[in-house]
Amino acid sequence: MDPRARGVNEFDLIRRHFERAPKNKSALVGVGDDCALLRPDAGLELAITTDMLVEGRHFASGAEPRALGHKALAVNLSDLAAIGAAPRWALLAIGLPEADEAWLKAFAAGFFALAERFGVDLVGGDTTRAPQRTITITAMGEVPASVALYRAGARPGDDIWVSGELGGAALSLAHPEIAEVAKRLHEPEPRVELGERLRGMANAAIDVSDGLAGDLGHILERSRVGAVVEYSLIPRNSAFKEIKDPSLERDCVLSGGDDYELLFTAAPARRADLGALARELGLPLTRIGAIQSGEARLAVLDAKGKPMTFKSGFDHFA
Ligand code: ADP
Ligand code: MG
């Protein structure tokens, strides 16, 4: 850690807020030593992902710290889910302008509430003073050999499916007063169980962090296939019915980020299995289109079958 921050008694901060006994036997050493020591299960593959949240870029300086603790971990668990891994361990690197105990306490409460729900141990990290709050989490998970869900696995003829509903998080940016969608933006639910259950069922998967069009585009590029999606089939938040703003709705549903639903492709022979899985998980799974051979291009059709225009992708440097 940065020695200049040591004046605030960094080790007490870490001990008070982030040191908890590992729950998994596979974490041999956690917070408090030079490294975490993990014993992955023999025969499993290790999935590792990292995501950074920067104040002023990914969250406002007044953001509620409990929700932030949840979201910082949730976006990483969502990446693990998208590859079909079961989450196990996390590292937390955090930069703060000051040692704000109340803020840290609330942040840790949000983080650990989600971590415990999915059996994730916080096994280490780094803490430093920084000009603005920065939160970087590295999450690790396990997946049995050769069943991970890649972006590159989509095949012509596959159905395209999405979990839950899209557009709510982006709608909340335009209409922060709608409480129901605010939760979608600030406390997304990572689709962990779904990701694990899609092993052997889905051919390709991705989590929707940057919008349907952009994220489906990643599957198309990696898989070298095209896709047709029917706009009217895309499941969306019921709040759109009251808003009655078709162009905002289109932007949120097709191009809005931060929903953290899973988007995946599967052979039509899997329809009945996926219907049963949706009922079992109590999570809607909706078929919105199909993969086609040819160029890696996405066509979104309106109710009359005409191609729609949409913004695709999200560029963090735009
Ligand atoms: P070192 O100087 O050896 O890198 P540090 O002083 O950075 O160690 O951290 C001390 C211990 O606390 C390490 O085990 C580290 O993994 C852990 N740690 C530091 N910050 C955090 C944090 N924010 N969350 C969890 N563990 C942390
Ligand atoms: Mg360190």
Please give the chain's pLDDT, 318 residues, in tens: 554 544 567 888 899 999 998 888 788 888 989 999 998 888 899 999 999 999 999 999 899 999 999 999 999 999 999 999 999 999 999 999 998 999 999 999 999 999 999 999 999 999 999 999 999 999 999 999 999 999 999 999 999 999 999 999 999 999 999 998 999 999 999 999 999 999 999 999 999 999 999 999 999 999 999 999 999 999 999 999 999 999 999 999 999 999 999 999 999 999 999 999 999 999 999 999 999 999 999 999 999 999 999 988 666 665
Does the CB atom of residue 91 touch ligand 1 within 6 A? no
Residue 122 CB less than 6 A away from ligand 1? yes
The rounded Å distance from CA 15 to ligand 2 centre is: 14
Q: Pick the residue whose CA is nearest to atom 13 on ligand 1.
A: 32
Continuous segment of H or E residues that includes residue 301: strand 298-301
| Cα 47 to ligand 1 centre (Å) | 22
Q: Which atom of ligand 1 is nearest to the CA of 124?
A: 16
Minimum-distance ligand 1 atom for the alpha carbon of 127: 20
Report the SS3 class of residue 175: coil
| 200 φ/ψ sector (left φ>0, alpha ψ -120 to 50, else beta) | left
**Pocket perturbation via mutation, ligand 1, pick of 96, 100, 126, 128 by most ligand atoms within 8 A of CB:** 126
What is the 85 CA–ligand 2 centroid distance (Å)? Answer: 27
Instruction: Write down the pLDDT at residue 3.
Output: 47
Q: 81 CA to middle of ligand 2, Å? A: 28
CB 252 within 8 A of CB 170: yes
Instruction: Assess whether the C-beta atom of 92 lies below 6 angstroms from ligand 1.
Output: yes
- Nearest-CA neighbor of 126 among 55, 41, 59, 50? 50
Give the single-character DSSP code of 230. E
How far is the centre of ligand 1, averaged over its atoms, from the C-alpha of 117 (Å)? Answer: 23
Report helix, strand or coil for 228: strand
Residues, CB within 5 angstroms of ligand 2 (ion)? 1, 126
3-class SS of residue 172: helix
Using alpha carbons only, give the angle 93, 98, 101 rounded to the nearest 5 degrees.
85
pTM exceeding the 0.75 threshold for the entire prediction:
yes
List CB contacts of 53: < 8 A, sequence separation 6 or more. Answer: 59, 68, 71, 72, 75, 134, 135, 136
DSSP string, 126-148: EEEE-SS-EEEEEEEEEEETT--
